[in-house]
Structure 1
Amino acid sequence: MNKIPKAFLISDLICIVLLLTFLFSLPSKLFKTPTSFVIEASNGKLLSAAIASDGQWRFPVADSVPVKFKDCIIAFEDKRFYNHFGVDILAMSRAMRQNWRAKSVVSGGSTLTMQVIRLSRKQDRTVWQKLLEVILALRLELKYSKAEILGLYAANAPFGSNVVGLEAASWRYYGRDAKTLSWGEMATLAVLPNSPSLVHPGKNSTRLIKKRNDLLDKLAQLHYIDQATANLSKLEPVPGKPMPLPQNAPHLLNRFKTERVSLKINSTRITSTLDENIQLKINTILKRYNNRYRANDINNISALVLDARTGHVVSYVGNIYQPENADLQSHVDMIKAPRSPGSTLKPLLYASMMNDGFILPHTLIPDIPTQIAGYSPQNYDLGYDGAIAADKALSRSLNIPAVKMLQQYKYERFYDKLKKLGIGTLNQPADHYGLSLILGGSEVTMWDLANTYMGMVRTLNHFNTYKGLYNPDDYKPATYFQNESKDEKDEQRNSFLDHGSIWVTFNAMEEVMRPGDEGLWEQFSSSQRVAWKTGTSFGFRDAWAVGLTPNYVVCVWVGNADGEGRPGLVGIEAAAPVLFDIFRLLPNGKWFETPTTKLKKLKICKQSGYKAGEYCTNVVEELVPVSGEKTMVCPYHKLVHLDKTGTYRVTDQCESVTNMQHKSWFILPPAMEYYYKIKNSDYKNLPPFKEGCNPSGGNSVMEVIYPKNNAIVYIPLELDGTRGKIVINAAHRNSSSKIYWHIDNEYVATTTNFHQLAISPPPGKHTLTLVDENGERLVQVFTVLDKEKKGGR
């Protein structure tokens, strides 16, 4: 076998090395310069953009290049672009001849492909670099299509000042998308990369116009356009002062900047899910209200709209963007900011108690003066109803019934439920919040709040989709960018909240009084049905409104980013009108379907709202969540024994059983009764006992309204420095009865009809004893603090 000559081996090796060098000469990523962050609406229109980290306006490479720019740049720079492999030998030969004759560089001969290489390398223009550009241009043509090469050029060519790329130039010089530019405008931009210094307001316009007009004539000669179009295009003005880019979603842009890495999005451009039309209109609405509220030093307002059908963000206005006034803190994204939620969590408690079988929709809840371990909630109107149906307490947003409900449900259980539903700002243990959790004693973000309600909407919407089962993905947060991936559905038998409880809750939320020019009104001016809730935080720092339909969830916040409270900053007055203006923009649709298989007809006591017992006289059938079967029977209807005339109560000690009447009677505890009968004139007091009857057991005839048993109270000093007093309040079933008051077994006073007593006991533990004329006794204790107890509300 003949040996292969050594010279051939060396030459082969050299060829292989050269081939490998050629193949790997092109970097995997051609351009490593930073790009601007860009947010587009769902229709591809630009919403917001931010300058790149190197101070340049440079958009990421677009998916396509406008046809007009392709025609203009090819006619101007490289008319044989589609016919060469990166190097135009004819153009290069012509340039060499012209440069030789002129003894200087008067013509380049570079193709668009070679210019892409030069833009990516930014090296000095030497003969060696030119040769290297030729090699790399050939390699570029092997890796990229002609369309991709044009895209790289359009995205990275210099257009004067700090503007790089066609898209950025179009917005900076014409304030429009490049796809919408005319022939004259596109021809102007096409000549700029060749001489980017031509763009200076008030300077070089004559040279720029000449270059543009020459290109227009060339386009006519090459039959891209006719001469009439070219002549008309020459009449168009050239750019003047650069224009600011749109800032219609600046807070979402900043959010994208922060979250891009965690979202695993490589590009700095996203096509968002935002509806451009709705986003712009909501911006206008919020600006109008902001101008009005600024008169009261309320500086910030934000709104979030979610599409419950798709789980997409429709509109994201984190604040009214006013960068010219730094004091207003308009840069703060209030959609992400933790704030006190006021009463906006009350529907979640109502639904949770329904779901877990604690209450029915109309169950009576106590509404009386309340003190729990030093915590004394107050209703907004400072009044009391004695007892009120749970759904009415929700629609009127009463605080005391809400606290009473949470006391029954247990704040630890509600805390766990909120975390499961997606409230991610509960960073302290449940005991830190206590019962104040239901009145805004925690912090939430608008993002979490809106997504939690959207999860409920999606769960109810999907009742038929999943045949009565539940999908935990319904509570996944909304997405603000278009994502093609689809999650696998994982239907389950149980959910955080069942269909029936959600349906009942939304019906209760629909009854909320609506805002109007004259205060409160019941009829919303649109036929659209909306379930909604307002909230006002302690100290008038936050005004909230959240509303929902089967299609949309809308959340509005009004206040000051720095937390300053303002009089009149109330949810019903400041946030609710904005909410309904936004709903007027959104398409109408059908109301929620009734989840019949997750509801059950139950016999309900009409007066108490509890499950009907044997003594309930007015019984109605209602659709309630299936778990309603677990609720207790009506505790307020009892059998009482009356004499023949029905005037007096009797016992077998003073009346023969044969002479008795046995009647069902609606009886509330004394403290509830005291306030309830003021607002319910049809409430009937229990008849008094017949003389000579000695009742034993049964219902207590007296109750201390304040302070409750084992309460801890503090007596403040008056303005003159003297020690103040506490007012003890009691209720008696017989309004005309006398009560004899004793403190620490010493008689202090007698009251009739109106049972209140102002006293100033010394610090320490005290025993309060009440005795009525019939000898009925009530004994309880309370403690007076020497100093005011510090702590939460």
Structure 2
Amino acid sequence: MKQALRLTLAAALALLLLADQIFPPPLPGRSAPRAQLVVARDGTPLRAFPDRAHIWRHPVRIEEVSPRYIEALIAYEDRAFWWHPGVNPWALLRAAGQWARHGRVVSGGSTLTMQVARLLEPTPHTLAGKLRQMARAVQLELRCSKREIIEIYLTFAPMGGVLEGVEAASRAYLGKPAQRLSDSEAALLTVLPQAPSLLRPDRYPERARMARDKVLARMQSRWGAARIADARQEPVIAQTVREPLLAPLFAERLRRLQPRAARIESTLDASVQQSVEQLLSARLTVLPARVSMAALVVDNATLEVRAYAGSADFADEARFAHVDMVQAARSPGSALKPFLYGLALDEGLIHSESLLADVPQSFSGYQPGNFQANFSGPVGASEALQRSLNVPAVEVLEQLGPQRFVSALRRGGLKLELPRGATPNLSVILGGAAVTLEGLVGAYTALARGGVSGRPRYRSDAPLEEARMLSEGAAFIIRDVLESGGPVARQVDGGVGTRRGIAWKTGTSFGFRDAWAVGVSDHFAVGVWVGRPDGTPNPGFFGANIAAPLLVDIFSVVDDSPPQPRTPPASVSTTKICWPLGTRREATPPELCHQERTAWMVNGTAPPTFPDRLRGGAARYTDQRDAASGLRVRAACASGEVHSVAMARWPAALEPWLDGALRERALPPAWAPACAGAHAPEAGLKIVGVSDGETIRRAGNGLPPELRLEARGGQEELIWLLDGRQIGRVPAGRALAHKFRDAGRYQITVMDDAGRYDRVEISVR
């Protein structure tokens, strides 16, 4: 008999195990409908993606829920949860006895595990259904730990309407995470699954209060009378249920990257994200109907993204709401210039005050102009970068090489997209290639990370992808120039910009299609883009007037800490240099140092000024002077004593921009009469039709006078400038008509591609 009994029990057990394998419980990871939730770094829901039944479910771990709720749930629903095997026989016997005595259900016998089984696999309220629940509960206990079982309940418990789980209910009704529930709120959410439709606190607050008080009464022996009394005083107030919608395009992006994850944890800071979205929303009233915006905030230390706004308004289809402009490749305008000057520093081509020519120039037929269509003449590299002057940037890129520049950016992690079939050329520095806001901000982090750029990270477990963009010294210098103007600006205004603590650069693409502003502080890198996603121009929209103010406002929100003083790295030093040669002051004879400036250097390198593009010959030369008159002579035509004078030659294109005192010092004197056959550099090009010092008067009808500007001589194309601002280009031999609308003194200059020029000053009355 004993042997037969053992065999019978073994067979029964085998059948049960076989049935368990053939009919496993429907665990959430296998057959449950899948909803997804994207959360911020503190657990704040950013966006919920419901399942097919449109259920909002926020998966949570037990430590992410208030201990008050766990304690109330166990005490109210299943005091024996931690020790029973899924079914509590004593509770079942008690419930059966009460039913037999009263003819109705007085207290249920279901355990939390049985409730979880019913959540995963709904069963009818019949004896057969109850037995099925019990069997499933035992199966769950065999497969899952108590912690896993209660976490399923925390995620799937019905909370009214489309809400499931304590976290979804706490966020939707109470506007807070389940980790911060009060005693009263914990009791409310404990009882809610018993009748979620009838006890919804947003619709039936009085019913919800009465049900809550039942739970509180049960908890009095644990929490004490005083604590329960305080909890009862708390009113039941619930907010209107709304779907979370922060960083919607960002959440959609992460969802595509992790299509099977129920809960996606991101690096975003919910409060920073909300502030950035509010700043964008506040600007919509001043933007045309179809203009969008994008913004990205990255933590410099970790490369984690703290805010991500891919469009201006996710609800406005007219603004291309669903187009993520953080990922869109667009022309950056001048936003790449900091990297050009930084790479030129690293290559030993420039120091921070290298002499550059902001004048009309032709680079093998490419003729860039400045945004304001005027020119400044001689400028240092720092000034050229800070003022975003185009011609000096092209001059530097010509020396560095476009292909070399693009390759260096790509090695540093910034991918440039060129037009199909195109190769890098000089237009790259003025927007002739496309980048993404994401890539650009990642590159700018190099200015605050010792020259090492990085790819923005959207999850804390994402790999850290870094690359060397600039040397530490070049990154320091470029940041200092963008922030305060460099050593020269510090001498002029005391470095006022450093107190702001932000180094930024703007950019405007050709045709006003894209307006950019990107910058760094000690802690963050921020990028802003404004424009139309379809590429339609927005005349009058440029980086400085539309994107930069938004950038500054974002920095004021995300980083209000005062900037910390920065010590130059060991590779950076300052030295006095001389224009026009660009060499160190101590190595330059005083008579050849026409202007002295203080410059940053990398590794002690003080390269000379670039070779003259228009005129051959050495930058230093010796001039022969008549000892008696001081006039310029040559040995062949000199009649008296001659002495030699050392001279430093300014680039030919800059000579028209030298002021009177500097011209007198920098340029040789007139030729002696006996040497009249010699030619000065500017000879061969002469303004005709108007003479120096002439006064032009308005006609009696008050109309502005129109002057016909002509010049004799010159080669190829003539460039006409009025007070340093270009007013036209015409072929040599043709005239240019110009109206002088305002009275005043004007300086008219004409130049050709060979560097010849002439200049007159007139008065208009």
C-alpha distance in 1 between matches for 2:399 and 2:497: 38
Structure-to-structure mapping, 1:702-713, within 5 angstroms: none
- The C-alpha deviation readout for 1:468-515, integer Å capped at 9, x for no partner, is xxxxxx43312232239789x99xxxx5422222222222222459xx
RMSD between aligned residues: 4.2
Q: Which runs of 5+ in 2 are unaligned?
A: 487-492, 612-617, 688-707, 718-725, 735-751, 755-765
- The C-alpha deviation readout for 1:417-444, integer Å capped at 9, x for no partner, is 2222222351546835632211122221
Give the corresponding residue for 1:497.
470
- The C-alpha deviation readout for 1:232-255, integer Å capped at 9, x for no partner, is 545555466732244343333222
Q: 1:625 to 1:480 in 2, by over 3 A?
A: same
The question of whether the paired residues in 2 share the 8 Å contact of 1:175 and 1:245 is answered with no
Q: 1:126, CA displacement in angstroms? A: 5.0
Give the counterpart of 2:298 among 299, 303, 306: 306
Give the counterpart of 1:555 among 518, 521, 527: 527
Give the counterpart of 1:278 among 267, 272, 278: 272
Give the counterpart of 1:357 among 335, 348, 358: 348
Give the counterpart of 2:670 among 683, 688, 691: 688
Give the corresponding residue for 2:264.
269
Tell me if 1:530 matches 2:502: yes
Give the corresponding residue for 1:471.
none
The question of whether the paired residues in 1 share the 8 Å contact of 2:592 and 2:646 is answered with no
Q: 1:187 to 1:201 in 2, by over 3 A?
A: closer
2:305 match: secondary structure:
strand
Q: 1:610, CA displacement in angstroms? A: 4.7
Q: 1:697, CA displacement in angstroms? A: 9.9
Q: 1:447, CA displacement in angstroms? A: 1.0
Give the corresponding residue for 1:628.
605
Q: 1:156, CA displacement in angstroms? A: 0.4
Match for 1:685: what amino acid? L
Structure-to-structure mapping, 1:172-571, within 5 angstroms: 172-199=172-199, 207-220=207-220, 223-227=221-225, 229-230=227-228, 233-234=231-232, 236-238=234-236, 242-260=240-258, 266-270=261-265, 272-291=266-285, 293-294=286-287, 297=289, 299-323=291-315, 325-372=316-363, 375-426=366-417, 428=419, 431-432=422-423, 434-460=425-451, 474-483=452-461, 495-511=468-484, 527-571=499-543
C-alpha distance in 1 between matches for 2:79 and 2:631: 111
Q: 1:394, CA displacement in angstroms? A: 0.8
Give the corresponding residue for 2:615.
none
- The C-alpha deviation readout for 1:132-173, integer Å capped at 9, x for no partner, is 432332243344343332221011011121111111111222
Structure-to-structure mapping, 1:656-695, within 5 angstroms: 658-669=641-652, 671-677=653-659, 684-693=666-675
2:251 match: secondary structure:
helix
The question of whether the paired residues in 2 share the 8 Å contact of 1:359 and 1:610 is answered with no
C-alpha distance in 1 between matches for 2:729 and 2:607: 42
- The C-alpha deviation readout for 1:211-268, integer Å capped at 9, x for no partner, is 3332232222xx233445545545555466732244343333222213336xxx9442
C-alpha distance in 1 between matches for 2:505 and 2:660: 28
C-alpha distance in 1 between matches for 2:685 and 2:568: 43
Q: 1:549, CA displacement in angstroms? A: 3.1
The question of whether the paired residues in 2 share the 8 Å contact of 1:541 and 1:566 is answered with yes
Give the corresponding residue for 1:62.
61
Q: 1:131, CA displacement in angstroms? A: 2.9
The question of whether the paired residues in 2 share the 8 Å contact of 1:302 and 1:319 is answered with yes
C-alpha distance in 2 between matches for 1:287 and 1:679: 54
Tell me if 1:580 matches 2:538: no
- For normalisation by structure 1, the TM-score amounts to 0.76
The question of whether the paired residues in 2 share the 8 Å contact of 1:198 and 1:205 is answered with no
Which deviates further from its counterpart, 625-634 or 65-74?
625-634
1:316 match: secondary structure:
strand
Q: Which runs of 5+ in 1 are unaligned?
A: 461-473, 514-520, 706-726, 731-738, 745-753, 763-777, 781-793
Structure-to-structure mapping, 1:572-651, within 5 angstroms: 572-585=544-557, 586=559, 587-596=561-570, 598-599=571-572, 604-610=577-583, 617-618=592-593, 622-626=599-603, 628=605, 636-645=619-628, 647-651=630-634
The question of whether the paired residues in 1 share the 8 Å contact of 2:627 and 2:640 is answered with no
2:329 match: secondary structure:
coil
Give the corresponding residue for 1:723.
none
C-alpha distance in 1 between matches for 2:27 and 2:56: 24
Q: 1:16, CA displacement in angstroms? A: 4.1
2:577 match: secondary structure:
strand
- The C-alpha deviation readout for 1:79-120, integer Å capped at 9, x for no partner, is 332342211112222333455567777764211011112211
C-alpha distance in 2 between matches for 1:444 and 1:649: 55
- The C-alpha deviation readout for 1:251-301, integer Å capped at 9, x for no partner, is 33222213336xxx944230x33344433433443333444x33x557433
The question of whether the paired residues in 1 share the 8 Å contact of 2:37 and 2:49 is answered with yes
C-alpha distance in 2 between matches for 1:759 and 1:214: 95
Give the corresponding residue for 2:76.
76
Which deviates further from its counterpart, 106-115 or 628-637?
628-637
C-alpha distance in 1 between matches for 2:331 and 2:729: 37
Q: 1:533 to 1:623 in 2, by over 3 A?
A: closer
Q: 1:306, CA displacement in angstroms? A: 1.9
Aligned length: 688
Q: 1:410 to 1:654 in 2, by over 3 A?
A: same
C-alpha distance in 2 between matches for 1:280 and 1:168: 20
- The C-alpha deviation readout for 1:679-712, integer Å capped at 9, x for no partner, is 977764332322333778996755899xxxxxxx
C-alpha distance in 2 between matches for 1:20 and 1:699: 103
Q: 1:755 to 1:538 in 2, by over 3 A?
A: closer
Q: 1:602, CA displacement in angstroms? A: 6.7
Match for 1:344: what amino acid? A
The question of whether the paired residues in 2 share the 8 Å contact of 1:252 and 1:316 is answered with yes
1:315 match: secondary structure:
strand
Q: 1:572, CA displacement in angstroms? A: 1.7
Q: 1:361 to 1:555 in 2, by over 3 A?
A: same
- The C-alpha deviation readout for 1:375-399, integer Å capped at 9, x for no partner, is 4322112112233222211111111
Q: 1:651, CA displacement in angstroms? A: 1.3
Q: 1:743 to 1:208 in 2, by over 3 A?
A: closer
- For normalisation by structure 2, the TM-score amounts to 0.78
The question of whether the paired residues in 2 share the 8 Å contact of 1:556 and 1:579 is answered with yes
Match for 2:564: what amino acid? K
C-alpha distance in 2 between matches for 1:87 and 1:7: 25
1:638 match: secondary structure:
strand
Tell me if 1:116 matches 2:116: yes
2:330 match: secondary structure:
coil
Give the corresponding residue for 2:158.
158
Q: 1:22, CA displacement in angstroms? A: 4.3
C-alpha distance in 2 between matches for 1:224 and 1:403: 77
2:673 match: secondary structure:
coil
Q: 1:307, CA displacement in angstroms? A: 2.0
Q: 1:330 to 1:63 in 2, by over 3 A?
A: farther
The question of whether the paired residues in 1 share the 8 Å contact of 2:583 and 2:607 is answered with no
1:379 match: secondary structure:
coil
Match for 1:55: what amino acid? H
Match for 2:637: what amino acid? C
Tell me if 1:33 matches 2:32: yes
